[in-house]
Amino acid sequence: MSAEIINKAKSWLSSSIDDDTRQTIEQMLNNNDDSELVECFYKDLEFGTGGLRGIMGVGSNRMNKYTVGMATQGLANYLIKAFPNQDIKVAIAHDSRNNSRFFAETTANVFSANGIKVFLFDELRPTPELSFAIRELACQSGVVLTASHNPKEYNGYKAYWNDGAQLVPPHDANVITEVQNIKGIDDINFAQNDSLIESIGEDIDKIYLDRILGITLAPEAVKNQKDLKIVFSSIHGTGITLVPKILEQMGFENVHVVEEQATPDGNFPTVVYPNPEESEALSIALRQAADIDADLVMATDPDSDRVGIAAKNDKGEFQLLNGNQTGSLLVYYLLTKWKENGKITGNQYVVKTIVTTELIKDIADSFEIKSYDTLTGFKYIAAVIKELEGKEEFIGGGEESYGYLISDFVRDKDAIASCAFIAEMTAYFKNQGKSLYEVLMEIYQQYGMYQEFLVSITKKGKTGAEEIQTMMANMRATPPTQLAGSAVESVIDYQSGSMKNMKSGSEETIDFPKSNVLQYLTEDGTKISARPSGTEPKIKFYFSVKTELNSASEYDNQLNTLKAKVDTIKKELNL
């Protein structure tokens, strides 16, 4: 074992730590098996652009009181510099994960010890409500304790700025610098000032839910379809606090909560992963939906910023919709109702990420609505909203990974409002005698049948990181001339900020933040995106392919054709 690891562990022992932590470190140092000591101390848990995320436990590479404290002390130091001579306020929320409440209270204690006013939610709350509270309470920052849909061993710390969005440049890099300047546990001020910590809860719930109710678009359809059968699962997370409430307040009277998953529980006992992107996580809800012949199934992740849904297909079977399909349906519904209600003036827009389906852009174009692209990550969608605030009107948008936003009073993906609008959308179309599946087929027939597929390749360790770098370098140096028989029309390199026309060889600059993403666009509308993960030893390939759909009866055959096309492209790219 390296001396550096032993010295780091001993430096913790020489700090002001609690007895339980001290005993655990001493046991690890005395243990013949040093693997645990290595894992806990071989590096510092990195405070990245999104905050912290890691396995809970003792040590510098774990989520615990002290790593959370260092992150908070660094953020507090930056806030004091960024807002001199101001009364600084922050809001704090947490999800249902093990230790989330403890970490939230730890965060509140450190902020207050540094003279910062804290609004602390009294119990678990959804992440989007934290974003809302920052804006509503005129805070300069906020923190939510959550590891989103990671396995139960994990927890996390997400930091927000005064617009209610996660940190973007220059604040993200500046906060990281301040956190790195915290050299040890004794640099953290844990001496909380209770007079600066204020409990919040139902008062903010009411304002937030009222804002959602205030933007609904089809109250008559909901009234006509008040008996719409909705099955909802919170997957042991925060969705249980507000989703049933908002559906009830909208007028839905036939909502069935999946009781086996309704109790908040950081062990997530009924699922392998608490992720609504995984079909297994919705299996209980789907069984319940089949038993009652439901119209709609919805499930939120632990911090309720993502939602997965299922609707009946033309065979009467429940079909899970992916994030691109749900996002496209939502945008289509929003624009349909905005137009129907006479609210479109030509000054509205929607936003999506560069790896999200182009179907959303096609829909927006047909309604003569602007569509903006951003880098992957909802903070970039929030940045566009901030930039255009007071100039253009945001209707909605989202990303392929099951996150959507309607209106701009929240600046992060919002599964609470999304559930409200997905239910309203289902009622609106059912009022016309259509299911969501039938509407999706109509959209495909009108705009083209888009299908998206994700391939994620894990390359572990130093060697794996080098392999990923080599893959990206090779793809940049020798791009394919054609994919699945269609000529590659252009190559967009977001790292160099350029788009190359493969036919003419000419290049033009793109106005986009730099990011290690490469895209191939072909003449037949295929889009391939390669993106190494910034937080995991992975490289992700996003495939978007398109064909015509003349009737819903052709869907299965066309889907198989598109799957075969993606398989061909994967072979051509040696994936």
Pairwise CA distance, residues 225 & 206, whole Å? 24
Indicate if 148 belongs to the active site.
yes
The answer to whether residues 238 and 135 belong to one domain is no
DSSP 3-state of 154:
strand
Q: Does the structure show a pLDDT above 90 at 270?
A: yes
Q: What is the mean pLDDT of residues 265-289?
A: 97
Residue 426's Cβ-count burial label (10 Å; 0-12, 13-18, 19+) is: buried
536 pLDDT band, cuts 50/70/90, is low
Structure tokens given for 247: 């559906």
Looking at the domain assignment, is residue 216 inside a domain? no
Which CATH number characterizes residue 496's domain? Answer: 3.30.310
The answer to whether residues 330 and 375 belong to one domain is yes
Looking at the domain assignment, is residue 208 inside a domain? no
Catalytic residue among 100, 141, 148, 515: 148
Give the end of a domain, one of 161, 184, 200: 200
Structure tokens given for 77: 């130091």
Pairwise CA distance, residues 344 & 151, whole Å? 43
Average pLDDT score, the chain: 96
Q: What is the mean pLDDT of residues 1-24?
A: 94
Looking at the domain assignment, is residue 285 inside a domain? yes
Q: What is the tens place of the pLDDT at every residue in 149-172? A: 899 999 999 999 999 999 999 999
Residue 57's pLDDT is what? 97
Strand locations in 137-266 (E): 141-145, 154-161, 197-200, 230-233, 255-257
Residue 49's pLDDT is what? 82
The answer to whether residues 93 and 196 belong to one domain is yes
Q: What is the tens place of the pLDDT at every residue in 281-301? A: 999 999 999 999 999 999 999
Nearest alpha carbon to residue 217 among 23, 396, 404: 396
Q: What is the mean pLDDT of residues 470-494?
A: 96
Structure tokens given for 315: 């065979």
Structure tokens given for 53: 């995320």
Residue 445's pLDDT is what? 98
Give the end of a domain, one of 200, 216, 236: 200
Q: What is the tens place of the pLDDT at every residue in 548-561? A: 999 999 999 999 99
Burial track 130-147 (b if 16+ CB lie within 10 A, e otherwise): bbbbbbbbebbbbbbbbb
The answer to whether residues 15 and 57 belong to one domain is no
The answer to whether residues 78 and 33 belong to one domain is no
CA separation (Å) from 415 to 394, 512, 567?
17, 28, 33
Looking at the domain assignment, is residue 108 inside a domain? yes
Looking at the domain assignment, is residue 207 inside a domain? no
Do 104 and 112 form a contact (C-beta atoms < 8 A)?
no
Q: What is the mean pLDDT of residues 401-425?
A: 98
Residue 331's pLDDT is what? 98
Looking at the domain assignment, is residue 217 inside a domain? no
Structure tokens given for 337: 């109702």
The answer to whether residues 255 and 233 belong to one domain is yes
Looking at the domain assignment, is residue 555 inside a domain? yes
What value, to the nearest 5°, has the Cα angle with vertex 388 and ends 384 and 389?
Answer: 115
The answer to whether residues 309 and 333 belong to one domain is yes
What is the DSSP code string of 409-457? Answer: SS-S--HHHHHHHHHHHHHHHHTTT--HHHHHHHHHHHH-EEEEEEEEE
The answer to whether residues 167 and 185 belong to one domain is yes
The answer to whether residues 358 and 472 belong to one domain is no
Residue 461's pLDDT is what? 74
Q: What is the tens place of the pLDDT at every residue in 348-377? A: 999 999 999 999 999 999 999 999 999 999
Which CATH number characterizes residue 104's domain? Answer: 3.40.120.10
Residue 121's pLDDT is what? 98
Q: What is the tens place of the pLDDT at every residue in 15-72? A: 999 999 999 999 999 988 789 999 999 999 989 888 999 999 999 999 999 999 999 9
Determine phi and psi for 215, rounding to 5 degrees.
-110, 0
Residue 152's Cβ-count burial label (10 Å; 0-12, 13-18, 19+) is: buried
Our count of domains for the chain comes to 4
The answer to whether residues 389 and 244 belong to one domain is yes
Looking at the domain assignment, is residue 161 inside a domain? yes
Pairwise CA distance, residues 298 & 280, whole Å? 14
Q: Does the structure show a pLDDT above 70 at 534?
A: no
pTM of the model: 0.96
Give the end of a domain, one of 406, 421, 447: 447
Q: What is the tens place of the pLDDT at every residue in 219-228? A: 999 999 999 9
The answer to whether residues 326 and 439 belong to one domain is yes
Per the structure, the complete domain to which residue 35 belongs is given by 1-42
Determine phi and psi for 490, rounding to 5 degrees.
-150, 155
The answer to whether residues 389 and 508 belong to one domain is no
Please provide the distance, in angstroms rounded to a whole number, between the alpha carbons at the two ends of the chain.
37
Q: What is the tens place of the pLDDT at every residue in 437-478? A: 999 999 999 999 999 999 999 988 778 888 999 999 999 999
